[in-house]
Amino acid sequence: MLYFELIEERLDQIRVSVNRLEKMKLMALEKFLSDPDNFAVSEHHLRTSLEALFDISRHIIAKKSLGKPENYKQVRYFRSVESVNAGF
């Protein structure tokens, strides 16, 4: 059984991070490059979004008993197999 509360928490993390990245995207390139913290903040939010996405994927893989991925590449593999089996 999927834990939708966990999935929703991770989706909220993704929404927050994407919103921050969208705001940073509006910044002029010169201003963005003038402060090294801008790059660090962008990297943080990108990483947070990706980790939340992989957490959701690992959760679905585990709850559907598709296997136990040991790294991100395997998460992508298991999700693609699951999609093919589901007819997507």
The residue segments making up the domain with residue 65 are: 4-86
- Rounded distance between C-alpha atoms, residue 19 and residue 45, angstroms: 9
* pTM of this structure: 0.77
Distances (CA, A) of 37 to 22, 40, 47, 49: 16, 5, 15, 18
- Dihedral angle, C-alpha 20, 79, 86, 1, nearest 10 °: -80
Number of domains observed in the structure of the chain = 1
Per-residue pLDDT for the chain (88 aa), expressed as one digit of tens each? 888 999 999 999 999 999 999 999 999 999 999 999 999 999 999 999 999 998 998 888 888 887 787 777 777 777 666 654 554 4
